[in-house]
Structure 1
């Protein structure tokens, strides 16, 4: 017995004094780390999908994105049900702590962070075969496209922003608190990402992978970047690529196939989409009616992949906004061939209204009870685009499966026409591009015979973009980059509601208060508590 006691004392002393050299810490072999998880094709692909998922995070395409830019661009105005912080957007009465803008900033940088993780881990991964080597290149290219998309929005909306070029697992305080980079440096980084992404992105994807970035998406975003930077010649060179082989983009014959769920993913009926945010109604997943657009995309939202727009804009649903009278009136203009007053056929695909406005006057065309007259006298002008009212009298829930159009071929054709016009070319090339958009079979608007002088051509181009892209969150960006946002919005608002809310500071959004408080290098670089 004494022998065992003596042995036990020795063991205890060895442990207490470190005399036992064996490491008693046990490793949990089922636990993963940053270094051990991303070591397979499947794991890297999961990281890529998680990067795409941020498109549906708070502040982006599931909900806030359409409110922010339809209201700020005055494509939409508030109806009575719209209250609280969203009403502040409609009235241009927001501050650096505006929740939707803070969420947008955070989600765009989350997209950057996740894309940086993909690039870092994919580069460290050792593919096992040729197929995995191809996938490795594609995953990195997709991440660079998404990173460029995030920075494209950040630089346009906020100007100088921190430029986070890589993921650092254990960053120093200096690496965390990056200062704001020069606008030119952000644009250069966007261009580099998109040029490199083009090399390894596929021309198209199989049906199961629709929604992932293609080479055409990278070309389109690079061309759009050049246009926004006023690099007109580069924009022409880049955007022209999409009009020829190997690309096969064409205008969808039926305009509404872009904004209705049955045909939006039919690559025969819809040859126009270049990049879109994919949505799928919750009922399609078989898991009921959830409310993921309200911030639960990766928590209580489960497989959330849908938009609340149909419910929130719907006149028989939450009825939160009108399409502005200004936007409606833009569809009535002088016929370019007869000089008579003309109502553009795209009105009937864009909004519900009265016959004189050209808006759709019936809804529920596919309902069992038959078409119903739209109650214009009491409802006013309401959005048809992205709505389900052709099929149901009331949508009934915020789980729309209609995809969000980010870049489509009509947009590319009009950007290309603009790049020509901005260089002083108002001849056959931009004329043909604008007329191509107008001659879509379901639209068939009268063609322009000529565009006239450069100012006249730009006026035509500006109106064409407004009509074609109403309610697609393009108007705000266009007005800002053309330098006419203040005069345009204030003059329109003065007529409609007697206000002139756009101030000089509104050419950029305020740097979010949360970023100012978290990053001292950004905080000390903000002027007038705005930007």
Structure 2
């Protein structure tokens, strides 16, 4: 699918010609490819659908973890994710506005080919049908994100005029629409692609997205059946090396169901920006001690080294004091450190003593880490297995398939955690499953959504703690910046509608208590 990236520039230009991006209606960006020049050939359809892929989430999604209980972002001024993290979120927040804008641009770009491909009178009918199904998948993805962040949102399937002021549709109705759309297109989308088409929406992606949106909205039977349908395709499997799944060698592997793809010369991921200062990073994501404590030990805990015997996924995801870094150095963020990773030593250094390791393929990207082209995985098979298990647990269907799904993830080669044994209660399995999602899917952009649907936002108000180390007196100390984070259960499970949107659309309203 790398070819899609090359076409983004032209397709996006055509799609936005005649209007400035900043002038687009934020609720439902208008403007379509001119019918005078488009909708004549298969290539017109291809360009338009390729443009709709451009608004997919990428590595920026990982930064959402800094608004949860597991990580923080360095103070970065007003109107950022930091405001959300500490509970001072308001409708003028720029980060919220940017997510809102991008998803609505995605909806507009997807609506364009959906409403116009049928005008093409000649060409490969199967190809055109597939392209239209891809656009419907992308629209379903953007609406999944919109409803997950904001709840009720306008349901728009046609091009609007700039002066149109649309009202929000009840979230339940929008979710019904998403599921119906995914049902309608799953059979049209191929099970897999070859060559340059790898990375496009597949049948498995449609079914997995259906499982996700159903699970997020408490439709457990639908989620169970959709996840099982993905499993029954028999085309997906867990990649044997957890760490390398997120390196170049894991791209397009049998675990990847859908991802945002990148290409040299056109788009980059810059994974290093969220990582260690000594590697050239900016500590954009600061994992907290609370993330460490989510991990189990394979044996007895060593009181002198709490990282010994820990679930290996912690070390694959995080740099911790004493860990070997990919450049051969030993990571040392203690206050006594003489390295660039010394806690709080610069604006680029960690504030809590941990840094993100996930997604850094140093052997390939080390010389130019800011221009990594590792794809960002949006849906993978481990998530499907855990969604299947969670749906079954919530339905109280505690059979062998639940244990099998969880244990496949836990016992992956390179992880090899002890299997969960049968006989657990529903509550016990629920807690096991939730913890497994937290550890397995770390820094992939899903924790915020999990916390919101599990209604555990108050966990974010626990002290934001960092590494444990020995002070000058030889006493164990846990780093504490005494940061207070707030969470309002009557407000913060949804984001506010951006203020600029409220001001230009009198029908949009605002979410409660903003």
TM-score range normalised by the length of the shorter chain: 0.7 to 0.9
1:237 deviates by 1.3
Match of 2:58 among 58, 61, 64: 61
Alpha-carbon offset, residue 450 of structure 1? 2.3
Contact 1:310 1:388 in 2 (8 A): no
Q: Does 1:375 align with 2:332?
A: yes
Aligned counterpart, 2:321: 354
1:134 to 2:126 alignment: yes
Name which of 450, 458, 463 aligns with 2:430.
458
CA distance in 1, matches of 2:150, 2:375: 26
**How far apart are the structure 2 equivalents of 1:326 and 1:526?**
30
Equivalent residue of 1:38, what SS?
coil
- Give how far 1:483 is off: 1.3
Q: Deviations over 1:172-222 (max 9, x none)?
A: 84xx21101011111111011111121211111113122211110000001
Contact 2:290 2:465 in 1 (8 A): no
How far the C-alpha of 1:52 sits from its partner, in A, is: 0.2
Residue 242 of structure 2 corresponds to which residue in structure 1? Answer: 255
Distance 1:391 1:376, change over 3 A: farther
Residue in 1 that maps onto 2:338: none
Show the counterpart of 1:16: none
Which residue in 1 is equivalent to 2:219?
231
Q: Does 1:520 align with 2:513?
A: no
1:157 counterpart = 2:157: no
Separation in 2, partners of 1:94, 1:462: 26
Alignment of 1:65-76 (within 5 A): 65-67=61-63, 69-76=64-71
1:490 aligns with 2:485: no
Deviation at 1:333, TM superposition (A): 4.9
Q: TM-score, normalised by structure 2?
A: 0.81
Contact map agreement 1:311 1:395 (CA 8 A) in 2:
no
**Deviation string for 1:355-378 (max 9, x for gaps)?**
5xxxxx1112xx5xxx22122423
Residue aligned with 1:37, SS: coil
Summarize the alignment of residues 414-453 of structure 1 with structure 2, pairs less than 5 Å apart.
414-450=386-422, 452-453=424-425
Structure 1 residues 181 and 115: CA distance shift in structure 2, 3 A:
same
Pairing 1:507–2:493 present: yes
Distance 2:409 2:437 in 1: 10
Confirm or deny: 8 A CA contact 2:407 2:419 kept in the other structure: yes
Tell me the SS of whatever aligns to 1:349.
helix
* Partner SS, residue 101 of structure 1: helix
| Contact persistence 1:199–1:215 (CA under 8 A) | yes
Partner of 1:47, secondary structure, is: helix
Describe how 1:70-85 pairs up with structure 2 within 5 A. 70-79=65-74, 82-85=76-79
Structure 1: which 5+ runs fail to align? 1-31, 286-302, 356-360
Question: In proportion to residue count, which structure has more helix?
Answer: 1
Alignment partner of 2:187: what SS?
Answer: helix
Contact 2:147 2:171 in 1 (8 A): yes
The yes-or-no answer on 1:200 pairing with 2:188 is yes
Structure 2: how far apart are the matches of 1:456 and 1:232? 18
Q: Spell out, residue by residue over 1:326-380, the C-alpha distance to the aligned partner (whole angstroms, 9 max, x if none).
A: 11221135769xxx9962111121111135xxxxx1112xx5xxx2212242352
Contact kept in structure 1, 2:298 and 2:418, CA below 8 Å:
no
Question: Any unmatched runs of 5+ in structure 2?
Answer: 1-32, 301-305, 335-341, 344-352, 467-479
Deviation at 1:99, TM superposition (A): 0.9
Please say if residues 389 and 395 of structure 1, whose CA atoms lie closer than 8 Å, have aligned partners that are also in contact.
Answer: no
Deviation string for 1:282-311 (max 9, x for gaps)?
xx33xxxxxxxxxxxxxxxxx3x2223322
SS of match in other structure, 1:434 = helix
Who wins on radius of gyration, i.e. which is larger? 1
Which SS does the other structure have where 1:507 is aligned?
Answer: coil
1:80-229 counterparts in 2 under 5 A? 82-86=76-80, 87-128=82-123, 132-168=124-160, 171=161, 173=163, 176-229=164-217
Residues 314 and 207 from structure 1, CA distance in 2 versus in 1: closer, same or farther, beyond 3 angstroms? farther
CA distance in 2, matches of 1:408, 1:328: 23
Shift of 1:441: 0.9
Is residue 313 from structure 1 mapped to residue 264 from structure 2 by the alignment? Answer: no
1:323 to 246, 266, 287: 287
Question: 1:42, CA displacement in angstroms?
Answer: 0.6
CA drift at 1:227: 1.3
Q: Deviations over 1:468-515 (max 9, x none)?
A: 0111111110010011122x2123548964524111211100111121
- SS of 1:230's partner is coil
Aligned equivalent of 1:46: 47
Give the secondary-structure state (helix, strand or coil) at the position aligned to 2:258. strand
Q: Partner of 2:139: helix, strand, or coil?
A: helix
Q: Which stretch of the first structure deviates more once superposed, 422-431 or 140-149? A: 422-431
Contact kept? 2:239, 2:250, Cα under 8 Å: no
Question: Which residue in the other structure is 2:255 paired with?
Answer: 272
Contact in 1 for aligned 2:288/2:465 (Cα 8 Å) = no
* Residue 388 of structure 1: how far off its partner (Å): 3.6
For the residues of structure 1 that align with 2:59 and 2:324, how far apart are their CA atoms? 28
Give the superposition deviation at 1:139: 0.9
1:39 and 1:445 map into 2 onto residues whose CA distance is 56
Q: Is the 8 A contact 1:75 1:471 kept in 2?
A: no
